């Protein structure tokens, strides 16, 4: 599946990062499907593309759905990302999330209404 690779190269996939199948560019034509040849991916990668077509899934969910180790899924995702077949939405870093104290103040303000 991974051809002996254990890393994803430059890409690091967080367990909660969301994976979305990248729609083909209409200017280039269909990347795969009936009007084009099948994607240059293995069966596991084709299954990832199918699972992420309807709804974004996290890396952890993909590993569970495919019944594969997370490390293997990360390598396969790295290949798909390099090929431009998926997009990955990384989680918001904790430093960018609102402070809990501010959220508590908002809740108190809403309750006061």
For 43-65, give one letter per residue: b (16+ CB within 10 A) or e. ebbebbbebbeeebbbbebbbee
Give the pLDDT confidence score for residue 60 in this predicted structure: 92
Task: Give me the chain's average pLDDT, please.
Answer: 77
Calpha distance 106→112 (Å, rounded): 10
Give the pLDDT confidence score for residue 12 in this predicted structure: 76
Average pLDDT over residues 81-93: 83
Residues 22-69 pLDDT 10s: 775 555 444 444 444 445 568 888 899 999 988 899 999 999 999 998
Of the two residues 26 and 11, the one the predictor is more confident about is 11
Give the pLDDT confidence score for residue 64 in this predicted structure: 92
- Six-digit token pair at 9? 């190269």
Calpha distance 36→94 (Å, rounded): 42
The structure's pTM equals: 0.64
């Amino acid at each position: 599946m991974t051809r002996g690779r254990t890393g994803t190269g430059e890409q690091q996939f967080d367990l909660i990062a969301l994976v979305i199948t990248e729609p083909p560019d209409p200017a280039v034509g269909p990347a795969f499907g009936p009007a084009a040849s099948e994607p240059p991916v293995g069966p596991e990668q084709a299954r990832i593309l199918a699972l992420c077509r309807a709804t974004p899934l996290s890396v952890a969910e993909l590993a569970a759905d495919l019944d594969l180790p997370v490390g293997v899924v990360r390598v396969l995702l790295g290949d798909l990302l390099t090929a431009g077949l998926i997009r990955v939405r990384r989680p918001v870093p904790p430093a960018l999330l609102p402070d809990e104290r501010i959220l508590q103040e908002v809740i108190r303000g809403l309750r006061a209404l």
